[in-house]
Amino acid sequence: MLDQTQYNNLWTNTFGLPIQQIPCYYQYLQREVYFQDYLDLFGCPNSGNPTFVRDKHMSVYPGFRILHNPAYTVQQGNQVRLIVDYDFPYAGQLCKNREIKYILIGEAAPAPSIPLLNNNQEDTSNTYFYNTTHVGSTNYFNAPLKAWGINKKTKENKNKSKTEILVELADKGVLLIDLSPFAVNYNEQMREKISEFLFKDLETRIQNLSYLNSKWDFCLIAPQKTSMGILNRVNKIHNRTINHTNDLLSAPDYEITRKNLKVSSYQDYTVNKSQQFKTLKHLPKRAKLAVIIGGSPHYELIKRAF
Q: How far apart (Å, rounded) are the C-alpha atoms in residues 288 and 219?
A: 5
pLDDT of residue 247: 38
Decide: helix, strand or coil at residue 21: helix
Contact 101, 216 (CB under 8 A): yes
pLDDT at 264: 37
With contact defined as beta carbons under 8 Å apart, do 57 and 83 qualify? yes
> 255-256 and 261-262 as β-strands: parallel, antiparallel, unpaired?
antiparallel
| pLDDT for position 120 | 63
**pLDDT tens for each residue of the chain, 306 residues long:** 888 888 898 888 888 888 888 888 999 999 999 999 999 999 988 888 899 988 878 888 767 788 889 989 998 888 888 988 888 999 999 989 999 999 999 988 887 776 555 566 788 888 999 999 999 999 999 999 999 998 766 666 667 899 999 999 999 999 999 988 887 776 777 777 777 777 778 878 888 888 999 888 888 888 777 777 777 666 543 344 444 444 343 323 334 443 444 443 333 333 333 344 444 455 455 567 777 766 788 888 788 778
Q: Could you give the CA distance from residue 278 to residue 274 in angstroms, rounded to a whole number?
A: 6
Q: What is the pLDDT of residue 151?
A: 73
**DSSP for 123-182?**
BTT---TT-TTB----HHHHHHHHHTT--TTSTTTTT--HHHHHHHHHHTTEEEEEEESS
d(CA 169, CA 16): 36
Largest CA distance in the chain: 65
Determine the residue type at 213: N
**Distance in angstroms (rounded) separating the CA atoms of residues 293 and 255:** 9
Q: What are phi and psi of 105, to 5 degrees?
A: -105, 110
| Kind plus residue range of the DSSP H or E element containing 231 | helix 224-234
Domain residue limits, the chain = 86-305
DSSP code for 294? T
The predicted structure's pLDDT at residue 119: 61
